[in-house]
Structure 1
């Protein structure tokens, strides 16, 4: 079987690991430890691939609990006789993880992403669902790897437990699925556009001046440092009922793309950042006293 993953250097201390289906993980190497951000779909022998890139003790952080980011976590538990790694995920996403981790779900995701064609030899590598006890990944956590560190910040919206990762020494903010060119904000676990906008403003203010660029976890590594501001503007457009509202279907779910874009989610107006949302989840629900 050809490698399901390939490596691309971000810089001397950070390597992007890119899957056949376009997910991007990040391996951060310090002088004492290494840290892996996300674990893809739980197929393709990710741990073996990572261990070709680093021999240092490894910590694993999950940006959120979705099928394409968290399902490889059992590979790092030590059940295969290898050293056990510390694995962190925000506990707000535990139920999401458990609801998506069946082999059937994961195979369906890969097939959908590859036009119905399973790469030769990949099917045999899917990890069986395994009991997981995640360490709780919290807002403000810091992981010192030796000469470089990773800080974690909560950015709920895409899921309740979505986190972003700041690498302060490199002034890089890894946004993952929290804020990107096709931010999914329409399923039952997503927050409303209004709540999401408030969280975007909060994180932008908190991290102002601490990053020069941002990185994503699907298809494209580098985007500008203005991605968060751009998506705040998209939120404003939706809330003013001025969105383009292009119909969008994803695995049977109906939603709308806020800004017209091509098949690669590049906006046709040349702007950056976008939201795919449900019209039932725009405003916060009023709380009855």
Structure 2
């Protein structure tokens, strides 16, 4: 796939998965009156044109977190939201993203799309301002990288300590009866199959066992940021051993 190309797949009624050349995952969630684009990937094409060929509704863009593979091309859109705690991530990685037009979005905010409601839940850990979006009526959770995509990365610069991340996961566990499918930020790495909600429980166990010392990681062989990894059930946790508490 060329850098300026996108591909869409209908994964749920009125929910499209959109991928770019790096297989980053974006989700177009359509309501009766408005639509939300969750993340904007890292492609270099005309994403707005692509999306507007799928939905004619007024469009809001919600960014799950400020890493480069989820936030590029936001300048193509008029209404963009992201938790402002992640401005710190833009600074850490020296990303040339204009922040003056990014509106803040916080825990508990409800996006009314007409016949569909999306709730924003803050899940800090992967980044300070990571959010997920819950479609309670349809039992769907859109997680960005807050719950990872096969491998949950907590070893990057700017990640919170594992003990802080664990509190975020506990908060999300309180809502586990409200979602059945988890659509993450790199769905192709999961063979285009969303996680079931019990993935969250496996991830919690992985974090708990690293924090307690019950699980000891091995050097992580992928990416440029090092770290160690452990696996528990369906979840693989990648972490920095110097950033546990």
What TM-score, normalized to structure 1? 0.77
Give the 5 Å matches for 1:162-201: 162-180=130-148, 181-201=150-170
Give the aligned partner of residue 229 of structure 1. 201
Give the aligned partner of residue 135 of structure 1. 103
Q: 1:179 Cα shift?
A: 1.0
> What secondary structure sits across from 2:203 in the alignment?
helix
Bigger radius of gyration: 1
Q: Unmatched 5+ residue regions in structure 2?
A: none
Q: Answer yes or no: is the 8 Å Cα contact 1:71–1:97 preserved in 2.
A: no
Give the aligned partner of residue 255 of structure 1. 227
> What secondary structure sits across from 2:53 in the alignment?
helix
**What is the aligned length?**
238
What TM-score, normalized to structure 2? 0.90
Q: Answer yes or no: is the 8 Å Cα contact 1:25–1:36 preserved in 2.
A: yes
Give the 5 Å matches for 1:53-132: 53-76=54-77, 84=78, 86-98=79-91, 99-102=93-96, 130=98, 132=100
Q: Answer yes or no: is the 8 Å Cα contact 1:71–1:101 preserved in 2.
A: no
Q: 1:240 Cα shift?
A: 2.9
Q: 1:92 Cα shift?
A: 0.1
Give the aligned partner of residue 7 of structure 1. 8
Give the 5 Å matches for 1:268-283: 271-283=233-245
What is the alpha-carbon distance in structure 1 between the residues aligned to residue 55 and residue 169 of structure 2? 34
Give the aligned partner of residue 114 of structure 2. 146
What is the alpha-carbon distance in structure 2 between the residues aligned to residue 149 and residue 72 of structure 1? 25
Q: 1:199 Cα shift?
A: 1.3
The alignment yields a C-alpha RMSD, in angstroms, of 1.9
Q: Answer yes or no: is the 8 Å Cα contact 1:171–1:211 preserved in 2.
A: yes
Q: 1:176 Cα shift?
A: 1.6
What is the alpha-carbon distance in structure 2 between the residues aligned to residue 14 and residue 135 of structure 1? 24
**Poorly superposed stretches of 4+, deviation over 3 Å:** 129-132, 249-252
> Could you give the per-residue CA deviations for residues 112-163 of structure 1, whole angstroms, max 9, x where no partner exists?
xxxxxxxxxxxxxxxxx54542110100011111111211000000000000
Q: Unmatched 5+ residue regions in structure 1?
A: 77-83, 103-128, 260-268, 284-289
